[in-house]
Amino acid sequence: MPPARPDDDYDYLFKVVLIGDSGVGKSNLLSRFTRNEFSLESKSTIGVEFATRSIQVDGKTIKAQIWDTAGQERYRAITSAYYRGAVGALLVYDITKQTTFENVERWLKELRDHADANIVIMLVGNKSDLRHLRSVQTEDAKAFCEREGLSFIETSALEATNVETAFQRILTEIYHIVSKKALASEEGPAAAPSSGTAIKVTEAAPETKKKSSCCQSA
């Protein structure tokens, strides 16, 4: 690994995936979080797109490597490969489109089939700015999350409501799990970047080791 660059110092590196039906606003949540940008006419995501941002949690620098995936079913064969090594997933639906909420179950199954069992999942109801068009009630989504043991938040990428909070929360949750685990296994979190691997990912491939983190390269 080349020497760390000054702007690239971090204590933890977490790989997070953005999943959910096409058009629910995954790419805009990502661009809002990483670049503070929103576009009413963003292009559809083909395959996957990658972005990153670092935040502070408990005085530690957490770097999130976020893989934004294509929502269409056809792409799942490609995109589910990126679930491997992910420690968090933001599962997004559109509060104005009932079907995108109904499909959440299918997405959860995708995660069960392809992601690590310990992956932290947060359900995100996006487009909360479209109040007059709402078709998924907050209570229903909340109840669903309680049943499934997921965290939940409603966001608006357009109005930048709760976007920061959503990412902050899931990263914090992951951090707490990781640091607890690290403590348990007596590997101080000071083990630096590689400590991200404390959340055990499915069979570590050789190349995963090479980058000394759980989060790089698919």
Partner 1 sequence: MSGDGGFPGVKSLFGGRGGFPGKLKFVRKGQGSEAGEGAASQATGRPSDESAAQQGMATLSLDGSSGGRRPMEAVSSSSPPPPQPTSGRPSSAGGGSSSGGGSSRRTTASSQEEAAAGAGAGSPQAEATIRPQRDGVQVAALRSMSETRISKFNRLLDEQVVDLEALRELAWSGIPAGLRPTCWRLLLGYLPPNRERRTQILARKRREYRDMVPEYYDLAASGVDQMGEELGALRQVAVDVPRTAPGVAFFHQPQIQKSLERILYIWGIRHPASGYVQGINDLVTPFMAVFMSEHLEGPIEGWTLGGCSDDLLLDIEADCYWCLCKLLDGIQDHYTYAQPGIQRTVFHTQELVRRVEEPVAAHLEKEGLQFIQFAFRWVNCLLLREVPFPLAVRLWDTYLSEGSQLKEFLAYTLAAFLLSWSAQLRQLEFQELIMFLQRPPTAGWGEKDIELVLSRAYMWRASFKGAGAHFS
Ligand X SMILES: Nc1nc2c(ncn2[C@@H]2O[C@H](COP(=O)(O)OP(=O)(O)OP(=O)(O)O)[C@@H](O)[C@H]2O)c(=O)[nH]1
189 binding partner (options ligand X, partner 1, Mg ion, none; Cβ < 5 to 8 Å by kind): none
Stretch that binds ligand X, among 3-11, 152-160, 165-173, 180-188 (CB under 6 A): 152-160
Residue 119 is a binding residue for ligand X (CB under 6 A) = no
Closest distance between ligand X and the C-beta of residue 63, in Å?
A: 22
Residue 167, CB-side half-sphere exposure with 13 Å CA sphere: 29
Interface mask toward partner 1 for 13-52; x: CB under 8 A: ---------xx---------------x-xxxxxxxxxxxx
Query: Least distance from C-beta 110 to partner 1, angstroms?
Result: 11
In angstroms, the CA 116 to CA 16 distance is 12
Q: Rounded to the nearest whole angstrom, what is the least distance from the CB of residue 27 to ligand X in the complex?
A: 3
Is 48 in contact with 121 (CB distance < 8 Å)? no
Instruction: Kindly determine how many residues on this chain lie close enough to bind ligand X according to the rule CB under 6 A.
Output: 22
Q: Where are the alpha helices (DSSP H) in the chain?
A: 26-35, 76-79, 98-102, 104-114, 138-148, 163-184, 206-210
Q: Which parts of 58-77 interact with ligand X (CB under 6 A)?
A: 70-71
In 3-state terms, what secondary structure has residue 201? Answer: coil
The one-letter amino acid at 19: I
Determine which residue in the list 10, 12, 15, 28 makes contact with ligand X, applying CB under 6 A. 28
Which of these, 40, 90, 97, lies nearest to 69 by C-alpha position? 90
Q: Which phi and psi (to 5°) does residue 21 adopt? A: -55, 160
Residue 34 sits in the site that holds ligand X (CB under 6 A):
no
* 200: contact with partner 1 by CB under 8 A: no
Contact between 188 and 182 under an 8 Å Cβ cutoff? The reply is yes
Does the protein bind partner 1 through residue 99 (CB under 8 A)?
yes
The reply to whether 24 sits near ligand X by the rule CB under 6 A is: yes
Tokens of 57: 């949690």
Core vs surface per residue 151-160: b (16+ CB within 10 A) or e = ebbbbbbbee
Q: Which residues bind partner 1 (CB under 8 A)?
A: 2, 8, 22-23, 39, 41-52, 65, 70, 72-75, 77-78, 80-81, 84, 99, 113-114, 202, 205-207, 210-211, 216-218
Q: Which stretches of the chain bind ligand X, using CB under 6 A?
A: 22-28, 39-42, 44-45, 70-71, 126-127, 129-130, 156-158
